[in-house]
Chain A
């Protein structure tokens, strides 16, 4: 997954990879997405970059 996701630019709040998939770097957005997920279990996956090479944060699971 990491190689597909393209460059990682922590300097920007949000980036997209070379297929247009979204990578969230901003903690403010990540927090809001977590809050939304906790209130809405159907929330789709978004990869949050927490400095862990684009590994999804705990609590986010891919939609089946």
Chain B
């Protein structure tokens, strides 16, 4: 078989594998936002923090939904997101306890859970408690050394956060708690010069511990209110910059997950749902303010009221074997109203507000942020 024929065959196999993984009813992936409040106000964040803690009826709905599905599942994957999920720690523990108790009676069920957190509240006792409830993978963002990090990843009152987060990471490092921690390090033009020294510090402090890994991610304009002032690394320069910085990190692969032959976004998978803190069901954790992302609601009895016409654009790539649409179904999504948000550094879509009053310029660019892609693509 020639190289090109072999490559094509492998690509087809990869697509088939992902198709099966995405369409099986024996896998369920829930991204749960126990709150959409946050104790940080990162300067590039897109979220508007309008929705508070998940109310008890929605929590009940999640438990009832799981009760309906658990017997038929071989794999349950829970991703905790927000806002800052640890501000809704009670919800996290409540649902996780429900799952672990049910899983104990189902030895054939593979349950795994992860959390995207700013790390401020992730002290060692919290980590140990959550690990015992099955949450054993964490993604925590750092924007650089303290002086840099504390200009962008700030608390609501504007104060810095680096020392607290770093100390929490050190506590985890000094313990034996069975978790994996991905340090997601954001890259921006203004911070590149300090990155080599910072990555040496990260490498020497954490990377001899196999529980820790690093993911280098360029900051994106994702629709937050400060988008216009955010300087980003050009697309053409990214690969070389990341390659050079990964050399600093050393021989161990710096990405948080094994490279795959095909990237699939969780939002493209029919067996993946986002449960927002108000009980609304979405597909994507980035375009939170886009009406196209609202596909239904979870009722207290565990019933999913899904508008399948709204679901369809998110899963459109599979029938067409369109790899771009399964990699990111939000980009190029067919819609009747103009796109309000754009992911990535490309040119913004032009919207004429006179012909479409819904194209509110205040809403443009809101609602995007790159998710913990490695964690949420299971």
Contacts and interface: CB of A to CB of B under 8 A. Distances in A.
Interface residues of A, number: 31
Summarize A's interface: helix, strand, loop or mixed.
loop
B306 A14 contact: no
Interface in B265-315: 270-271, 273, 302-306, 308-309, 311-312, 315
Contact of A33 (B19, B68, B302): B19
Contacts of A14: 23, 270, 308, 311-312, 315, 318
B319 A13 contact: yes
A12 to B, nearest CB: 5
A14 B303 CA distance: 18
A43 to B, nearest CB: 5
A55 to B, nearest CB: 15
Contact of B26 (A19, A28, A32, A45): A45
* 10 residue pairs, one from A and one from B, having the closest CB atoms: A44-B24, A15-B308, A44-B26, A28-B319, A36-B16, A26-B319, A12-B312, A18-B303, A22-B270, A19-B68
Interface of A: 7, 9, 11-22, 24, 26, 28-29, 32-33, 35-37, 39-40, 43-47, 63
21 contacts: A13-B318, A15-B311, A16-B306, A18-B304, A19-B68, A19-B302, A20-B69, A20-B273, A22-B23, A24-B23, A28-B321, A29-B23, A29-B319, A32-B318, A33-B20, A36-B17, A43-B20, A43-B24, A44-B74, A45-B24, A45-B26
